Structure 1
Amino acid sequence: MQQIHINRNRINSIEFDKSDITIPLDPGNECSIELPIINYGSPTHVYLSVSDTLRKNVRFLSDNVYVANQEYAPVLIKLPADLTTLEGEMKVTTGYGSLTESFRVIIGEIPEVSKPMSVIDVDERLAFPNYKQDRTSSRDDWDIDPSKNPDKNRKKEISFSFPDTFILPLLIILLVVVILLVTFAFNLIHVLYGALAVSILIIILMVYAVMHLLAKNN
């Protein structure tokens, strides 16, 4: 149930646990509730009232409650027989009328939220006892999506692509091997020139590798 807090944030401040409350009540019946009023400051008077829509159906046994620490304000509530719900505001005033706050009150039946009924499409042709689905029926009659029934035995195409990044290093390595063979195996090139050519190619390969690594990190 609703609780009323007085002087909790500042002098004469008014706070509620809920912005609105619902009191279930059948038409023609009445009930009583108690509103807890908690005072966090010095003792004070708290005035209770309701809006015009609830004035004839909500009555406080004491509309001027003296609250030292905590008090309970009894409230009598009734719902006319010709109404199913009744709405209004309950007001709380402190500081001898200097501050007033209110919360919404709903009296009566709580409306039930009906769940929408699910709709199932039924083929009307099923009502005929001799109805059979023709094997030569079109795809639209069965609403078959080929993408939802892939052939599990279908062979997957496997493609292999050689990275272009490795082409230049492989060519350099191949050229180094050729120079080494020509220099040391066949003695067609002087050893000094062969070693110089191999050194240059290795330096080019190292520079290319460093540049590729830096470009990949960026």
Structure 2
Amino acid sequence: MATVPVDLNRGRTHQLDAPGSVTVSGSFAVVLENHGAPTHVHLNFDDDLSQVATLGEGNHYVEGATPHEVFVDVEPISEPVTGRLKLATGYGTETKYVSVTVEPGPAGKPPVEVDEALGKPNAGKSSGSEQPDYVPLRERAEEAIPEGPQLAVGAVAAGAVVLAVVVGISIGSTAVLLGTGIVVGAAIAALLLSSE
């Protein structure tokens, strides 16, 4: 990605050093490098450049020693566009203009690379492991429903639990609640034993 280098505070406070003109292809970055005290920098585009280029934010606080990169998103264009980038520090006391020519090129942020294997069935399968064949949901549901004795034990256990809870709540005595706990425990044990 192309960059526009800008030096801040190199010789004196609020000093701006930038190239007079640059040519970029597609999106680019303005790299603000501060050589002195922390400072605020304001960036914006003239009308011509603002038609195709977008800054996420115009005001930037730049500390010393670490370059500050400002991404400029450029829309797809079919012909070159030339405009001016305005840089200002010291609340406008120091201003610099850079003539920017944007040529047709890639637009937007750098693309995210996606592994083509993710678009193929069983992409997550490792070479040594086998995954089961696809089973329709209806068949899986039919297999999950118990048959014969399991179904009968399950129905009786569910009915016993519901009845025990209703009786335990309505009577409210300690002995009945203890009995309810025993019935619920027996029903759970019956379900566990029937599933083996």
TM-score range, shorter chain: 0.3 to 0.5
- TM-score, structure 2 normalization: 0.48
